[in-house]
Amino acid sequence: MSHPVFVNKKSVSVYFGLWTLIAGVHFSVFYFFYDFTLEISLADSFVFNFLFCLIGISMWYIVRYSIPDKTNLWNVVFNHFTYLALILVLWTGLPFTILNWLFGNFKPYHDFLLVSVPYRLFSGILYYALIGMIYYLIIYYKNLQEKVKTESRLRELLKETELNMLKSQINPHFLFNSLNSISSLTITNPEKAREMVIKLSDFLRYSVSTNTTRFTTLENELANIQRYLEIEKIRFGEKLQFAFNIEGICKDHKIPLMLLQPLFENAIKHGVYESTDQVKIEMKCNYTGGYLEISIENDFDPHAHARKGTGLGLKNIRERLRLLYKTDKLLRTSIAGTKFFVFLSLPNIELTEPKA
């Protein structure tokens, strides 16, 4: 930790400015109250206060290495009492020698110096206590700032870990289903199995190549969703239909990476799987009031027996949104007849993305 007096020009100005003010008060008392000459008043004020100004700078080092939390309390007390004793000897001995040499022939001032010794000692102790207290406050304030920064960084690392864990859960979940489908297609339709392997490779490459970032553009995310749906369409054929109605301004908006894929996976699992009719998944997107408004709707059979799942999809997304945007009100779902709706409202990432 650098010396607080010399951190910058402002701290230097403040420190020496305060001692100049103290010296000015000292001079005024001697000149106007005690009626000493201008020379004596200036000399007494300058010698005593300038010396303690220098002593105050040196005190930083005794305070810096006498922290009660890091050093035995008795050592701290011993260090301070020893240093204070040396300071008082220096602060009274040196100025008295100088001033006696300059003005010793002036008996009223010589007598005043002798009488003022107890007051000088008391003021020296007071200066020492005040400067020491200020230095300790500076140290504890700096330590508190460091602690806050460290805790903030730890929280950020914890959040990163949670986000990476949540994101890593997506690929194995989808990969498991896709490999099962490929396994079946290798027997019934090897050509489609080959096509599905290629598309799956492209899909996973996108995820792996961008796993160091939290966000991507909606345009990039939609391209990956297109790959995902094409993979599923190999399995379901004409039974699966999908459409995108996206305003152009939306495509550059940043959204959490791999956020939409679980929603489409959920729509297929609870819509396409359970229906004997054609199922359409439609995504709409517009930009309103600084928010990216996304809606995904899919047909489903309300009378069909629901497939048992882990509930990972929506829960995963809610948790990721909570960690990234500090709110859990950005995702809503609703049902209207044979339609299931998911609504997302995502703010501008510039307002929420932490700065490096």
Within 8 A by CB and 6+ apart from 167, the residues are 211, 257, 258, 320
Q: Are residues 18 and 67 in the same domain?
A: yes
Same structural domain, 210 and 97: no
Lowest average pLDDT, out of 35-44, 64-73, 110-119, 281-290, goes to 64-73
| Domain hosting residue 292, numbered range | 169-351
| 351 — pLDDT class (breaks 50, 70, 90) | very low
Residue 190 and residue 140 share a domain: no
* Cα diameter, the chain: 120
Q: How far apart are CA 78 and CA 168, in angstroms?
A: 58
For residue 233, the Cα-to-chain-centroid distance in whole angstroms is 43
| Mean pLDDT within 278-282 | 91
Q: Which of 153, 177, 203 delimits the end of a domain?
A: 153
Q: Note whether residue 187 is domain-resident.
A: yes
C-alpha span between 295 and 16 (Å, rounded):
65
Domain for residue 249, yes or no? yes
Residues 178 and 312 in one domain: yes
| 277: CATH | 3.30.565.10
Boundary (domain end) residue, out of 100, 127, 153: 153
Please indicate, yes or no, if residue 160 is contained in any of the structural domains: no
Tokens 């490999």 -> residue: 179
Q: How confident is the model at residue 13 (pLDDT cuts 50, 70, 90)?
A: very high
pLDDT at 210: 57
Averaged over 106-122, what is the pLDDT? 90
Q: Do residues 199 and 290 share a domain?
A: yes
Token couple for 15: 């420190």
Regarding whether 30 and 99 lie in a shared domain, the answer is: yes
pLDDT one-digit tens code per residue, 185-204:
888 888 888 888 888 888 87
Q: Are residues 346 and 321 in the same domain?
A: yes
pLDDT at 10: 92
- Cα torsion 216, 222, 225, 231 to 10°: value is -130
Per-residue model confidence (pLDDT) at position 356: 38
Same domain assignment for residues 231 and 302: yes
Q: Is residue 159 part of a domain?
A: no
Q: Given the DSSP bridges, would you call strands 339-347 and 291-299 parallel, antiparallel or unpaired?
A: antiparallel
SS3 content of the chain, % helix, strand, coil (to 5): 70, 15, 20
Quote the pLDDT of residue 2.
Answer: 84
> Is there a single domain that holds both residue 327 and residue 230?
yes
Write down the pTM of the prediction. 0.53
Would 301 be classed as within a structural domain?
Answer: yes
Per residue in 151-163, pLDDT (tens digit) is 777 677 566 656 5
Q: pLDDT tens digits for 82-108?
A: 999 999 999 888 999 999 899 988 889
Question: Strands (DSSP E) along the chain, which ranges?
Answer: 215-217, 240-246, 254-256, 279-288, 291-299, 331-336, 339-347
Identify whether residues 238 and 342 lie together within a single domain.
yes
User: Do residue 115 and residue 189 come from a single domain?
Assistant: no
Q: Domain count of the chain?
A: 2
